[in-house]
Structure 1
Amino acid sequence: MSATNENNTQTASLDSTQSAKLQQQQKSALQIKLLKGVLYRSKNRDLWQYLERDQYQVREYFSQLGLSLTLDDAEGYAFLKQVDFDRETEVLELPRLITRRHLSFNQTLLLVALRKRLAEHDSEESSPRLIVTRAEMHQWLSPYFSEVSNQIKQQREFDALIKKISEMQFIKPLINHSDDFEVLRIIKAFISAEQIIEFNQHLQTLALNHSEQGEAS
């Protein structure tokens, strides 16, 4: 073998090794990202391309861990869900890798309001981003809380609720604009149109019961 051919072979082997190493790094980065939370196409285009290219292998890997991959290409997000096995046929109870979210009534109230606003935005605006203000969220919440003399205390309660929803990664404060928030589209995967209707009916029932109690007293 000539020196030139030998050099070409070594170069090809090196390129192949580097390519395999890069793919492994991408695979590991994607797995870690999904285990930590939501993957957004707009923020992680390289990882998203890897996910689209090797989606079957990714699903297969996580299925072995008892996790299922939810991918919405139209909205540009992907996340993991814990598979709920049949308790009667489950031989061994698996530890949870994904934390189950338990929403309070007030958290659900704000999420439904944000989800409704996102639906309105999608039907009216061309921009994919929905920005809401802290004052708007206060306004949405106020009708469902009793009137209080200490408005500052109530505003702090609303702010604590907004902070919690932000920590859950349903909204994100804008850089240098702490009173403005982007509504993250992952909210559509957790609050459906049917759930909005059901929750509104629940609110109407509560309002009716409250009104009847007021008349009785």
Structure 2
Amino acid sequence: MSEETVPLETQFSLTVIALMKGIVSRQDDEKSWNKLVRQQAQIRDYVEKIGLDLRLDEAEGFAWLAQRSVQEGEIPLPRLVSRFRLSYATSLLLALLRGRLAEQDAQGGDTRLVLTLEEIQEMMAVFLPATGNQARRRDQVAAQVAKAEDLGFLRRLGGSQAWEVRRLLGLFIDAQWLGEFDQRLAEYRQNLSSEESEEEQG
């Protein structure tokens, strides 16, 4: 069945289901993205009834669903979008990637940021406890890269050991998040330095 013969109601349902599954990206599927943009008013009305908001950034080409804030006098609905708490290592990786995106934007030029596993490992090394087991460190960083990929913030380039940092990251991590994490990071580095000093003295 061609796209032209698919009923509009079915096209609408397929678009909503795609959003329910996760992030919809123009880069991943331009046809689905165009349908979403055309149907955004109807989608907003529909998901609002089940306690969700449609977040759509046409400039960057990303759309996703977020839990809608409960207004005064409304009866709270069960959450459909789960909250998740990021580990320190995952938060660190996302903050560093967000910083690299900001640096690249300031410099201009290529809008794509591509990093290898080795480059990501070098970025994170200064913020992680020292270890003589480089293979274990590489596995730890690779696990965080896989987590960021699952969250939709990294895209692996084929079967290579290189990933594109998706600009979606900048929409989720704002200045306030970075500021709060920078404070946690400073405290962590201070504690880490104290522990290393104690080990040297011991």
Specify if TM > 0.5: yes
CA distance in 2, matches of 1:77, 1:70: 8
Unaligned stretches of 5+ in structure 2?
Answer: none
CA distance in 2, matches of 1:209, 1:55: 48
Alignment length, in residue pairs? Answer: 196
Cα shift readout 1:6-37 (whole Å, capped 9, x = no counterpart): xxxxxxxxxxxx96843223212211111111
Q: CA deviation at 1:64?
A: 0.7
Cα shift readout 1:61-98 (whole Å, capped 9, x = no counterpart): 00011110111111111100012436x9564x633322
Q: CA deviation at 1:207?
A: 2.6
Q: Which residue matches 1:153?
A: 136
- The reply on whether 1:44 has 2:29 as its aligned counterpart is yes
CA distance in 1, matches of 2:193, 2:97: 26
- The reply on whether 1:204 has 2:186 as its aligned counterpart is yes
SS at match of 1:181: strand
Match runs of 1:132-147 below 5 Å: 132-147=115-130
SS at match of 1:79: strand
Cα 1:118–1:53 change in 2 (3 A) is same
Q: CA deviation at 1:116?
A: 0.7
- The reply on whether 1:56 has 2:41 as its aligned counterpart is yes
Give the greater-gyration-radius structure (CA): 1
Q: Which residue matches 1:114?
A: 97
Q: Which residue matches 1:185?
A: 167
If the length of structure 1 is used for normalisation, what is the TM-score?
A: 0.80
- The reply on whether 1:166 has 2:157 as its aligned counterpart is no
Which piece of structure 1 moves more, 166-175 or 48-57? 48-57
SS at match of 1:148: coil
Unaligned stretches of 5+ in structure 1?
Answer: 1-17
Cα 1:158–1:212 change in 2 (3 A) is closer
- Among all aligned residue pairs of Structure 1 and Structure 2, give the percentage whose two residues are the same amino acid: 34
